[in-house]
Structures are given as C-alpha cells and as structure tokens.
Structure 1
Amino acid sequence: MPVITPFEAIGAALTEEMRRDPRVLIFGEGVATKRHDLLDEFGPARVRNTPLAEGIIAGTAVGAAATGLRPVIDLLFAPFLCYAMDQLVNSAGKLRFISGGQFAFPMVTLAMTGGGWGVGAQHNHNNEAWFVHSPGLKVVMPSSAADFKSLLKAAIRDNNPVLFFIDLGLLYQAGEVPEGEHLLPLGKASVLRTGSDVTLVSYGKTVHACLAAAQQLAEAAISAEVIDLRSLKPLDEEAIMASVHKTGRLVVAHEAAKMAGVGAEIAAQVAERAFADLRAPIIRLGGPDAPAAASHPLEQAYAPSAEAICAAARSICA
C-alpha cells in the first residue's frame, strides 16, 4: 500500500469523488491555491477560492446542496465555524427535517482543529462537541491517513451535512492507505488493539496517545483495549458497550475541553447501559476549560499524554 499523509489522502479522496460524480465541487478559503492539481483537472467552476467570509461560504453550500449539488467547503480553522453557525446548524442541520424530507443537504465542511502548530487560541479550538449536540449534523474526526481518505469519500456520498474535523497534529503524519475504492461507513468505530483489563476510547491525535499508553500498560501486565471512534455522530455505542462489558473499566480521552465534551456523553451512556459491568469508576481525561495556548509546550500539556492515560488506567486496575 502507498504511504501518504492525511493532507494527500484528502486530496486523493476529493479527486476520486470529483471524477466519479460531476455534482461534487469544492470551494472555500484557499482551496484552489492549496490544491493546484484539482484546479488543473476540474477547472474554476468546481474548484474555487472564496473571500474570507465563512457565513457566506456555508450559506452558498447549503443552497448548492438543496439544488442537487454535493459541495465540499473548507473553512480552514475550527474557530472560524463560529461565523457559520447559523448556516450549518439552523439551515443545513434542520432544513431536511423541516421540509419533511423533501430536500437533502449533502455537504461536507472541512475544518482544522487541535494543537501541534502553535497557532494560538483564535485558530485552535476543539469545538467538535458543539456540532455533535446539533441535530441533523454528522461529525467525523479520523486519526490515520487511511481513515482520512475513506471517511471523506463516505462523507461526500452521504445525503446529510457532515462536519469533517482535521486534527492539525496529524496532517503530515504519513501512513499506509489502500489503493482503489475503499469506504468506511460513518458511525463505525475501530478496535485498534484488543485487551481484557481496561478500555481506552478516543479520537483524533489522542488515539495515538492511547496506543502508546496501552504499550506501557502491557509492560505492567495490564491488557488495554483501544477504540478509535473515528465518527462522533453517529457514535458506535455498541462497540463501546461490548468492550466495557468485557473489560469492566473505561478511560475516555480527548484533547477537547473535558467539560461537556464527547467523553462526558460516552461516560453517561456507559453508566446508563453498562453500570453492572463496571468494576471501577469511569475516568475522563480532556483539556482544560481555557483557550488554547500559542506556546508549543503549553499546547502539548493541554492534551492528555500517554503517561496521563497510563496513570489513569493503572489507578482503576489497581
């Protein structure tokens, strides 16, 4: 299998889907500048730079989707989604329901999030939980180059609006990507490592911290199962419950703020549905309730480390 970066995987997914379906187009902040190959092949009618006006970009995409096109928009950094909340949440997320299913809104919104580049608070905010909480929207956040490609292809083909979060720290971490047609269904988690003593659940770059923690735990004779959610909504509840039923212990870790994050929802569901299986309290690890720091060391300290995840797992396996 070829080894490529998530940035290249995104480009490959866009190329394949635009060749397959003439209704697919991409526009947004700098897309024609960043993706010269797409512009050369598909032309300015389907690959277009826009002004820095996120609300207008998202609103145009909603209208395009309602007319039968399948737009992909790039709003660059996740905090910029604030300028497009009305269009994404009140229009894209609700109009299919309000219309009684007469309209579909097949649109994908790309946004970079998370630490790794020291871009500061106005460009770094893990706000994915906002959109998980918004009816009608789907939310994905992959952790590997292969999943970036296959999930983006699936998102483009979905008839609902999808928020596709790109973890900045992973953008140029190369990995193997299968050649040819390869799609993953939205809402299907991946068990990256099987275990019997404790379940580690995460998404985005924190998945790799969980895998490193699992290796450290193995050296202490603790068997950790690692689940990469990949999709935050739909959420693969059954994969989580099956693992907790087996291990009886759960640690949920993500870079986003711990308060009201995705980890809180997972902890609540496990407490409601699998309380009898638990052998120890659920532990949530997340970022602080504070804007992201521009300092690289502080930025890294905000995210759960492998050592912190390992310590949490050891504490409930004692």
Structure 2
Amino acid sequence: MAEQHYEQQYLDLMRRIWTEGTVQHDRTGVGTKALFGAQMRFSLADDAIPLLTTKRVFWKTAAREMLWFLTGNTNIRPLLVNKVRIWTDWPLAHYRQETGDDISQDDFEARIVADEEFALKWGDLGPVYGKQWTDWPRYEQSGSDSEGPLYRRLSQGINQVAALVESLKNNPASRRHIIEGWNVAELDQMALPPCHKTYQFQVADGKLNGLLFQRSCDLGLGFAFNVFSASLLIRMLAQQAGLQPGDFIWQGGDVHLYINHAELVEEQLSRTPSGAPKLRILRKADSIFDYSIEDFAVEDYVPQAHISAPVAV
C-alpha cells in the first residue's frame, strides 16, 4: 500500500471543515466555517519541507517574513522593500480610518518605502511577533509609594530565540524549549494578536522536533505560510544546535475557512497532491539571526497553479 502524501491530511481537514464546520460570525464580518482542535504531523528528515503542492506557495515571501521576525522589527517598511505585502492590510486600514484618506494600497506602500518618517508613523504594527520573540519586556522595582511597589521597564528585554538556541545546545533534555508570543499585557497594542503564538521544541535521539500551537488558523490562506515558516525555523535551529531535523507537529485551536473562499476551497479539493519538495540550507550562518534569503533553496517543487482569495482584515 502506497504511503499517503503528507498534504493529504491538510486536504482531509479542509474537506471536513467545509462540510461539517460550524458557521461562525467572526470579527471581520465575513463569517467562517470552523472546527476547534486539529493536529497534523510532518517529517522534516532528508530535507523534506511541507510545501503545499495543490497550489503554488510563494515560499520566499514566507521565508522573508520569518527572517523579519528574527530581526525584532515591527515596521512593514523592510518587508515592502523586499516586495512582501502580506502585512499591509492592517496599517493601511488604520491609516484610512484615522485620516479619511482613501489611498490605494499601491500608493500607501510606495509612500512607506519612500518616506521613512511616514513609515515610522503609519507602518508600525505594534509589539507583534518579532518584538516578543527577541525583546520580551523586563521590569525591575524602582521604588514604592502608598499603593505598593513601583516598577520601571528595562531598556533590554528577553531574547527568547537566543536563549532557546543556548538551551538546545547546553540543556537538550529540557522540557522548557519554548518561544511565546502571547504577551497579554501588550495585546491591545498589536495590529493583530499572534495567531501562531507558541512554539515548543524537543530534542530526542539527536533530532530536533518542533510543535507549533496556532490559536487561530485561516486554513485556506495563512496555513500554507505558517507550516513552511515553522518548518524553516526548526531547520535553522537544528543547524545552529548541531542537531538533525525531526518532526514538525502543527496544532490548531480555531481552524477555519472563510465563507467567501468557496472557489478556493472547491478548486483545491479537486486537486491531487504530488511530489516531494526539498529545502536546502546552503550555509551555516554565524547565528540564528544571520541567515539571509540567499541561504535557502527549494528543489523539486512543482506545484499546481496559484489560487487567489481575498484576505479578511
């Protein structure tokens, strides 16, 4: 009996949500079909990478986003310089609401790239992923008053990613290999609270396994990027820690398909997955923070045609 293609579990979940999911009225006003609680497992051995083959995934866009997270930057300007437009919707909506200027997306992005002052004011997303990953806030007591202790925020926060690499190297048996993005105290400052919120890692038999818990997953659009990005992160961490990549386990909380994505869903479910793409890391960077897009190569990736669909903001 032939082994099932790694993508089949994704298509099976998509079909289940589309046929059995509960209709939810979400914050975007679009509406979804959703299931609560799902899991998939992908092997990363032998350079395997879980790129979807039933539609084209622009993996360089996902890789550039992951590299941007690792810089700790929260402004969309570096993304737009590299023609990565996946975060524009939120600051653009904020700009239009605050100013009443119905600027086009193209013009807004061009101004962000050309005008640093404009970008500083309108291009920042708040303390999203990279900020929490590399600069989680720390405080120390600075005094007290009649109501109790007073605290001040330290200029340098906790770099969870750097600490993780050291932990993987020096304490591989730990059950505390975690990167957390869900900072409750700062959620209201974020353009979008983290969807892929918690990463946990395990070292076993010289292999690095990684688990991602995603509180909210747009299975039709976002998942393809999330699964590639998480797998890429595991591969980079494994290389830095002198380990072999093991399995990637994806877990979703609210897993949904947008009701206005019917054409996407039905087209994708009509397709059959095939092929076994590989991700090569072409050099070992000096640190987890020193990789560039030129360090990655995807081979044997022959996907079917791209399927477009609107993003719900």
- TM category (shorter chain) comes to under 0.3
Is the helix fraction higher in 1 or 2?
A: 1
Point out the structure with max Rg over C-alpha.
2
Q: Which has the higher contact order (CA 8 A, sep 6+)?
A: 2
| TM-score using structure 1 length | 0.23
